[in-house]
Amino acid sequence: MSHRRSARPGPVTLTGVTVLSAALATAAAALTAAPASADPADRTAARDAAVARVAKLYEQAERATEEFNAAGERTEKLRGEVSALQDRTARAQERVNRMRGRLGALAAAQYRAGGIDPSITLMLTERPETYLAKAAVLDRLSSSRLGELRALRAARRGLEQQRLETARKLADLEAGRKTVERHKEEVQRKLADARRLLNALPAGDRESYDRISRGDGHGAGAPDLSGVPAPSGRAAAAVAAIRAAIGSPYAWGSTGPSSFDCSGLTQWAYGRAGVALPRTSQAQRGAGRQVPLAQARPGDLVIYRSDASHVAMYVGNGRVVHAPYPGARVRYDPVGMMPVSSVTRP
**pLDDT digits over 147-192, tens only?**
666 777 777 777 778 778 878 877 877 887 787 778 778 877 877 8
Q: Indicate the residue type of 16.
A: G
Distance of CA 30 to the CA centre of its chain: 38
The dihedral sign for the CA sequence 252, 253, 259, 263: positive
pLDDT bracket for residue 2 (50, 70, 90): very low
How far apart, in Å, are the Cα atoms of 14 and each of 11, 17, 283?
Answer: 10, 5, 25
pLDDT bracket for residue 66 (50, 70, 90): confident
User: Can you tell me whether residue 229 is helix, strand or coil?
Assistant: coil
In the set 3, 183, 218, 262, the catalytic residue is: 262
> What is the spatial distance between Cα 247 and Cα 265, in angstroms, rounded to a whole number?
12
In the set 3, 183, 218, 322, the catalytic residue is: 322
In the set 3, 183, 218, 310, the catalytic residue is: 310
pLDDT at 169: 76
Q: pLDDT of 240-286, one tens digit each?
A: 999 999 999 998 889 999 999 999 999 999 999 999 999 999 999 99
Q: Is 262 a catalytic residue?
A: yes
Q: Is 322 a catalytic residue?
A: yes
Q: Of 25-34, 64-73, 112-121, 244-253, where does mean pLDDT reach its minimum?
A: 25-34
Q: Is 310 a catalytic residue?
A: yes
